[in-house]
Amino acid sequence: MKKIMILSLATSCAIFAASINFNEPAGDFTRINPEFNKNVVLSYNSSIADAKKSVVNISTTKTVNGAGADMGDMFNDPFFKDFFGFQFNIPQEKQKSSSLGSGVVISSDGYIVTNNHVVEDSDEIVVTLLDSDKEYKAKIIGTDPKTDLAIIKIDAKELKAIPFADSAKLMEGDIVFAIGNPFGVGGSITQGIVSGLNKDNIGLNQYENFIQTDASINPGNSGGALVDSRGALLGINSAILSRGGGNNGVGFAIPSNMVKEIAEKLITNGKIERGFIGVTISDMSKDQKELYESKEGALISSVEKDMPADKAGIKRGDLITKINGKSIKNANELKNLIGSMAPGSSVDVEFERDGKSKSTTIKLDAMKSDSTTLGSAGEDSKSAIEGLKLRTLNDSLRRKYNLDDDVSGALVLSVKDGSKADDYGFEVGDVIIQVGQNDVKSSDDFDRYIKDYKGKKTLVWVIRRGIPQGLVIR
């Protein structure tokens, strides 16, 4: 009986067996040493010898609140103030705090680039070269928190300025070296490869276009150099991803082309002025891409009234595809490009609206301080979408949901589980502000416009937790 079962199984396998031809490397191979001469040692010493002379140690001292500060911060928290009805006054002791980092010499007369977080709020900055014990007092020339870069200067001559590589020519797999002062042990070099390029949405800086590397980057390496096998600067080491604080092989460096641009502006003007058009942007979702001919670009989520984009005729739902003839792949590219342009300059913009390509010219304004662009009970009403209950916004609801006074639309009061409204992605607390190209001022507006789009896909724009989002309605 056993034999029959085994034969039956074997027969079954043979009947349903498939065949596959694996792709094999061409020809045979042999292994060789880098050099046949047994007296030759493989080394990158000459590659990084000059670059190491351009990297410096940075020690900073700042004044911080002492032990009483933590309790003071806690009791002055709005929760405690509201609960107890008065403000606590706890004596705050001042203490000195020291930290270490790295920097890179970019001019022979003492200009040094580093991370902003290495030097911000410092009372004193002391710089030492990796091959010298001599200390230099440094002064801050300019900082840019949005890219986490800063320029400092020391009174020195004939320093070794590092050569800049073109980071746009960098490729994944290129060998790189990280040079810095990890844990304060002094000049150290680690080696790895480029693991990834154009990394954004990491959440470290407002403007991101990181080089990712597995070259070990540890505390103290911040502001140090990432160089190629020629010793040319590819980027400024900035951060690591780590749960425990140690190196896990995922480090990020700010690319040299961005470093060069920011450094030049800080040295020349002492500050960064960025172009501003007054929009909120996002990448397209998979569903949203079905509504546009172009599959790449930056989607306009909101347009600030009387700002440059508004004056140029840009509307919510437009898809920006080109700036000055340069293709825009995503929201981050548009943000970085506009941010790199001077206020007052004009840019030619190509965009898609309702399946048609259009163009306009926008004159850039100057970016102001950081901000996010947004912007009676009434009767509850069921909407034209199954499972969605709405109410027209009024002052009482604006206060209840902490909405700005100028926000108008239809508030989502409830979404039935498993309904069409649930499938479309509506959430309680959403404020519906636009259907297609039509502004929504009330729940009646929403129903009227939705019926006009019956049977067609369209974008319904909502404000969710202060941010405009586009939902695809079928």
Rounded CA-CA distance 220/214 in Å is 16
Provide the pLDDT for residue 243.
54
Provide the pLDDT for residue 94.
54
Residue 181 Cα distances to 61, 100, 189, 194, angstroms: 17, 8, 9, 21
| Annotation says 117 is catalytic | yes
Q: What percent of the chain has pLDDT over 70?
A: 80
At 444, phi and psi to the nearest 5? Answer: -65, -40
- Given the residues 148, 214, 318, 445, select the one marked as catalytic: 148
- Given the residues 54, 59, 117, 144, select the one marked as catalytic: 117
Q: How many CA atoms lie within 13 A of 292 on its CB side?
A: 26
Question: pLDDT tens-digit profile of 273-292?
Answer: 888 898 888 888 888 999 99
In the predicted model, is pLDDT for residue 120 greater than 50?
yes
Q: Which helix (H) or strand (E) holds 115?
A: strand 111-115
| Annotation says 404 is catalytic | no
Rounded CA-CA distance 396/242 in Å is 45
262-270: list long-range contacts, CB under 8 Å, 24+ apart. Answer: 262/144, 262/147, 262/149, 263/106, 263/111, 263/113, 263/149, 263/151, 265/142, 266/141, 266/142, 266/143, 266/144, 266/149, 266/150, 266/151, 267/111, 267/141, 267/142, 267/151, 269/142, 270/141, 270/142
Query: Any idea which of 133-142, 183-192, 240-249, 450-459 has the lowest mean pLDDT?
Result: 240-249
> What average pLDDT does the segment 291-305 reach?
90
In the predicted model, is pLDDT for residue 260 greater than 90?
yes
Provide the pLDDT for residue 226.
94
Question: pLDDT tens-digit profile of 58-99?
Answer: 999 876 555 444 444 444 444 444 444 444 455 555 556 567
> What average pLDDT does the segment 173-180 reach?
92
Provide the pLDDT for residue 37.
67
Question: pLDDT tens-digit profile of 431-468?
Answer: 999 998 888 988 888 888 888 777 788 899 998 877 88
Rounded CA-CA distance 174/163 in Å is 18
- Given the residues 222, 301, 302, 443, select the one marked as catalytic: 222
| Annotation says 447 is catalytic | no
Q: Which residues of 260-299 are buried (b: 16+ CB within 10 A; e: fewer)?
A: bebbebbbeeeebebbbbbbbbbebeebbbebbebeebbb
In the predicted model, is pLDDT for residue 320 greater than 90?
yes
Provide the pLDDT for residue 2.
46
Provide the pLDDT for residue 96.
60
